[in-house]
Structure 1
Amino acid sequence: MADTIRRGAAHHGRTGALLALSLLIVILAVSLLEPGWAHGADDGSNSAFAGDDPNATAAATATPVTVQYGKDARQYYLAWIPPQPTTRTAVVVVHGGYWIGGSPTSVSGLNKKLYADGIPSFSVGYRLAEEAKWPAQRTDVLAAMSDIKSKADSYAISPRRVALIGSSAGGHIALAIASTEGAKATCAAISYSAPTSIDLAQSDAGGDARRDRLATAAQRLAPTVKQKKTANLPVSPSSSDAPALLFAGQREWLPYVNSSLYVNAYKGTGLAVQPVILSAVSEHAQAYALNMPLVWRMTTKFLDEHC
Structure 2
Amino acid sequence: MSDGRTDGAESIRVERGREATDELAVDTYRREGVEGAPVVVFVYGGAWESGARGQFARWALDAAGRGPASEGFAAVEIEYRPSDEATFPAQIRDVRACLSWVRENAERFGGDPDRVAVVGHSAGAHLALLAALAPEGPFGGEYDPEPTVHAAVGISGPYDLRADSDEDGVVRRFLGGSVEEIPERYAAASPVTHVAADAPPTFLLHGEADGTVPVESSEEMAAKLEEAGATTRLRTDAGADHVYLHSSYWYPEIRESVFSWLRETL
TM-score w.r.t. length of structure 1: 0.72
Structure 1: how far apart are the matches of 2:170 and 2:159? 13
In structure 2, C-alpha distance between the alignment counterparts of 1:242 and 1:291, rounded to whole Å: 26
Residue 218 (structure 1) aligns with: 171
Aligned residue-pair number: 241
CA distance in 2 between counterparts of 1:296 and 1:140 reads 26
* 8 A contact 2:36–2:107 mirrored in 1: no
Tell me the CA shift for residue 268 of structure 1: 3.0
Long gaps (5+) in structure 2: 1-6, 67-71, 137-145
2:141 corresponds to? none
Question: CA-to-partner distance for each residue in 1:232-277, whole Å, 9 max, x for gaps?
Answer: 2222311111111111111121211110121121233321122110
1:64 is matched with which residue? 15
Report the alpha carbon displacement of residue 87 of structure 1 after superposing the two structures with TM: 5.9
Q: 1:226 to 1:290 in 2, by over 3 A?
A: farther
Tell me how far apart the structure 2 counterparts of residues 169 and 290 of structure 1 sit (CA, whole Å).
22
Tell me: CA distance 1:106–1:290, structure 2 relative to 1, closer, same or farther (3 Å). Answer: farther
Task: Tell me how large the CA RMSD over aligned residues is.
Answer: 2.4
CA distance in 1, matches of 2:249, 2:58: 7
User: In the alignment, does 2:34 pair up with 1:85?
Assistant: yes
The residue number in structure 2 matching 1:154 is 108
Amino acid at match of 2:224: A
Q: Tell me the distance in 1 between the aligned counterparts of 2:247 and 2:160.
A: 22
- Structure 1 residues 187, 115: closer, same or farther in 2, change over 3 A? same
Aligned match of 2:154: 191
Is 1:127 the counterpart of 2:81 in the alignment? yes
CA distance in structure 2 between the aligned counterparts of 1:259 and 1:146, rounded to whole angstroms: 27
Give 1:252's aligned residue: 210
Preserved contact between residue 53 and residue 79 of structure 2 (Cα < 8 Å):
yes
Q: Distance in 2 between matches of 1:150 and 1:290?
A: 37
Q: Aligned partner of 1:244: which letter?
A: T
TM-fit CA distance, 1:160 = 0.9
Q: Alignment partner for residue 172 of structure 1, among 123, 126, 130?
A: 126
In the alignment, does 2:190 pair up with 1:232? yes
Q: Distance in 1 between matches of 2:34 and 2:26?
A: 19
When normalised by structure 2's length, the TM-score is 0.82
Which of 104, 112, 115 is matched with 2:61 structurally?
A: 112
More strand by share: 2
Assess if the C-alpha contact under 8 Å between 2:29 and 2:109 holds in 1.
Answer: no
**Identity of counterpart residues, as a percentage?**
21
Relative to structure 1, is the Cα distance of residues 285 and 233 closer, same or farther in structure 2, using a 3 angstrom cutoff? farther
**C-alpha deviation, 1:103, in angstroms:** 0.7
Q: d(CA) in 1 for partners of 2:53 and 2:227?
A: 36
